[in-house]
Amino acid sequence: MPQMQNVSAFDAHGTVTFVALTPSSGDTTPARWRVENAPSAIGMPKASVSARYNGQKTARRVDVSYEQPYYVLEPGTGRLTLLHKVPLTLTAVLPDGVPTQYLEEAVDRFFSFISSPTVAASIKGGYAPT
């Protein structure tokens, strides 16, 4: 079981630190992070991870959630206005009875696949490869 800690993320602008806010206290209770160096509380990206058994208790389900606010600075007032939120989610279902090395291989390959330039471009552009 991983220990709660700050998480570094990378994008075209550099490194962002997601500050550990609250660890999970057990099944269904999410661990939460937030980028705290945003100009306002409404501009702070946030993320969470929760885990639990599926209904039949034959697999563990892990849900990852990320939310990136889109806001603008109002001219003249300097006030930030939230216009949208970009929600991104991931659900992983890990069946019982699959050896650890195969689960780890599947997870490693999945994350390599979704971080590939092709899949990243699909997500960023909103269209599947043609």
How confident is the model over 30-83, as pLDDT tens digits? 999 999 887 777 889 999 999 999 999 999 999 999 999 998 988 888 888 899
pLDDT at 12 over 80: yes
| Residue 51: Cβ within 10 Å count | 19
In the prediction, which pLDDT does 61 show? 97
- Asked whether the predicted pLDDT for residue 9 surpasses 80, the reply is yes
pLDDT of residue 43: 84
Structural class in CATH, domain 7-97: alpha beta
Both structure tokens of 1: 């079981």
Query: Which residues on neighbouring strands pair with residue 60, listed in sequence order?
Result: 53, 94
Given pLDDT bands bounded at 50, 70 and 90, which one contains residue 13? confident
Q: Which residue has the tokens 């997870």?
A: 107
Compute the chain's Rg from CA coordinates. 18
Tokens standing for residue 100: 């650890």
